[in-house]
Amino acid sequence: MDSAEQQTPEQPQIYLVTPPSFELGQFPGQLARVLDEIEVACVRLDLASRDEDTLSRAADALREVTHARDIALVISDHQILAERLGLDGVHLSDSSKSVRSARKALGTDTIVGCFCGASRHEGMTAGEAGADYVCFGPVGHSGLGDGAVAEVDLFQWWSEMIEVPVVAEGGLNTDIVRKISPFTDFFAVGEEIWREEDPVTALKTLQSAMG
């Protein structure tokens, strides 16, 4: 490998996020079609519901789909359910506060990720506490976080200074994807495709901007 090749950044990977609610009779099949068409690194169960029975049934259904394809499944915030249901990890949405305790409880083989808004400080704190990845967002117009937008220069600084993998999330479109692609390891894609009639085509359109 010559130096020019070494300097070429790898294409970011896709980290798929579920809708906040879905029909158990339909969504697992829809997810399976997307995973069979497009390479995905990880799936996050991100339901708005806090009902443990609802979450457990959804996790069981999605785990069948993801594990059959050797894709990791993590759940938002429910550390106890991640353990109980044999999921691959937990995504913490309350910034960096819970990373250390989640890591201690779940062990080193489980994924612990953390949403850090647009805060460089929160990201560094999460990384130091043992997060496997840090997620910044929203990067575009989205209701995610406190409304502060994670700008391209945050991702550029992170990619140059910090080794912890970084995820870009919230309000993605092809223009934003194209700008951030050189500086992020993952794009977390959710509502951007599930609100479309054909999620596979919508995801392929975003993916085409990642090269």
Contact present, 115 and 91 (Cβ < 8 Å): yes
| Domain 12-208, CATH among 3.10.20.520, 3.20.20.70, 3.75.10.10, 3.40.50.2300 | 3.20.20.70
CB within 8 Å of 179: residues ≥ 6 apart? 152
Name which residue leads in pLDDT, 12 or 95. Answer: 12
- Average pLDDT of 94-112? 91
Residue 52 has pLDDT above 50, yes or no: yes
- Average pLDDT of 97-115? 94
Encoded tokens for 198: 């054909």
pLDDT of amino acid 3? 36
Contact present, 129 and 103 (Cβ < 8 Å): yes
